[in-house]
Amino acid sequence: MNFASDNVTGAAPDILQAIVDANEGNLPSYGADPLTARMQQRLCQMFERDVAVFPVATGTAANALALSVLSPPWGTVFCHADSHIYTDECGAPELMTQGARLQPLPGPHGKLTPEVLAAALAEAPVGFVHGMQPAALSLTQATEAGTCYTVAEVAALTALARQHRLRVHMDGARFANAIAHLGCSPADVTWKAGVDILSLGATKNGALCAEAVIFFDPALAVDFGYRRKRAAQLFSKMRFVSAQFDAWLTDDRWLTLARHANAMAARLAAGLQALPGLRLRDPVEANELFLRMPDQVTDGLLAAGFQFYRWEGDVVRMVTAWNTSASDVDHLIQAAAELTKIT
Ligand SMILES: Cc1ncc(COP(=O)(O)O)c(C=O)c1O
């Protein structure tokens, strides 16, 4: 049973069907098709303003390309020490920015705080020709610890960023899960809270392969078409990616799928934290759980075929997804309960 990742799931049936439907006939290539136009419209509605949308293949591509707009090669990008851009992108942001430096910062539960950012900025060698120059802040929403920045937290960080002339990127690989938790509008926690560019991911939340770079200030996007092409991220048969976003956005499917994943995580957390010796490391706000678990439980669950990751020390990571079933969750809780009884 999969609790390893929201990437090992298939695509949601309605999204897969949208790809099949998009297969009909010949359509203009490279994004000049009607499905791409409709996706753009839907994203403008979702964010309550004109946005410039650039689909790409992966979250890494979205992040690295977004940062290449926000930072010069001599810039510093401040991010959380656990951020995907810092730990899991094999230097793609450094490559695409042609040399910008990611500066990892600490913060509880996967979140940066204004205090930590202010301390880093105070040390930055602004105007010193030998030093890297502060250029951008990158926040992950939902975070790599399965928590979510509130609107006020995002706004406080971006206000500080602005004071120091930093641009702001948001890695939204699990943006839908964050909105499902926060209950705010997508606009509230992005451009209205000071975010310049969002990497919007649908892949983990029911799509087959659909990620996009969303610009809230279209003026920033003027050259982006060339950047994307140069990075080999311009799909010729764009309609198949657009069809996924289109179906994802129809009837708030993105929220329904994310709400389900989050609800399964909450159910799992409630069941597991009630067991002796098991403790959540972080609040469970989206679709990931990090919890401290005795070895006998971890070993027993893995041996029984439950899939999840050992993280660090006695911490394990479990992830739920749009297709996680309540009965799988209950099975895992039941099995863990049995294992805690073994002496
Ligand atoms: C926080 C975060 N950002 C971005 C990504 C995108 O990764 P990929 O390049 O594998 O699509 C992931 C995937 O694991 C992620 O967890």
Could you read off the pLDDT of 106-116 as tens digits, one per residue? 999 999 999 99
3-class state of residue 47 by DSSP: helix
Cα of 8 vs centre of ligand 1, distance in Å, is 13
Contacts of 254 (CB under 8 A, 6+ apart): 176, 202, 205, 206, 248
Query: Does 206 score more than 90 pLDDT?
Result: yes
Ligand 1 pocket, residue 85 CB under 6 Å: no
Contact between residue 277 and residue 293 where contact means Cβ atoms under 8 Å apart: yes
Ligand 1 pocket, residue 144 CB under 6 Å: yes
Q: Is there a cis peptide before residue 142, judged by omega within 30 degrees of 0?
A: yes
Cα of 126 vs centre of ligand 1, distance in Å, is 31
- Tens-digit pLDDT profile for residues 240-296: 999 999 999 999 999 999 999 999 999 999 999 999 999 999 999 999 999 999 999
Query: Does 20 score more than 80 pLDDT?
Result: yes
* Dihedral angle sign, alpha carbons of residues 69, 123, 138, 197: negative
Q: What is the pLDDT averaged over residues 156-175?
A: 98
3-class state of residue 288 by DSSP: strand
Query: Does 343 score more than 70 pLDDT?
Result: no
Atom in ligand 1 nearest the alpha carbon of residue 89 = 9
Ligand 1 pocket, residue 60 CB under 6 Å: yes
pLDDT band per the 50, 70, 90 thresholds, residue 224: very high
Pocket perturbation via mutation, ligand 1, pick of 86, 171, 200, 290 by most ligand atoms within 8 A of CB: 171
Query: Does 227 score more than 70 pLDDT?
Result: yes
Query: Does 24 score more than 80 pLDDT?
Result: yes
Angle at Cα 195 formed by Cα 142 and Cα 149, nearest 5°?
A: 30
Angle at Cα 288 formed by Cα 70 and Cα 313, nearest 5°?
A: 100
- Tens-digit pLDDT profile for residues 64-121: 999 999 999 999 999 999 999 999 999 999 999 999 999 999 999 999 999 999 999 9
Which residues are 139's β-sheet partners? 170
If you average pLDDT over every residue of the chain, what do you get? 97
Cα of 144 vs centre of ligand 1, distance in Å, is 10
Write down the H helix ranges in the chain.
13-22, 34-47, 59-70, 84-87, 92-96, 114-123, 151-163, 175-182, 224-230, 239-249, 253-273, 295-303, 326-341
pLDDT for 342 equals 81
Ligand 1 pocket, residue 82 CB under 6 Å: no
Q: How far is CA 206 from the centre of its chain?
A: 14
Report the percentage of the chain scoring pLDDT > 90.
99
Cα of 172 vs centre of ligand 1, distance in Å, is 9
- Tens-digit pLDDT profile for residues 303-323: 999 999 999 999 999 999 999
pLDDT for 160 equals 98
Ligand 1 pocket, residue 246 CB under 6 Å: no
**Rounded Cα distance, 343 and 336, in Å:** 13
Contacts of 335 (CB under 8 A, 6+ apart): 300, 301, 304, 306
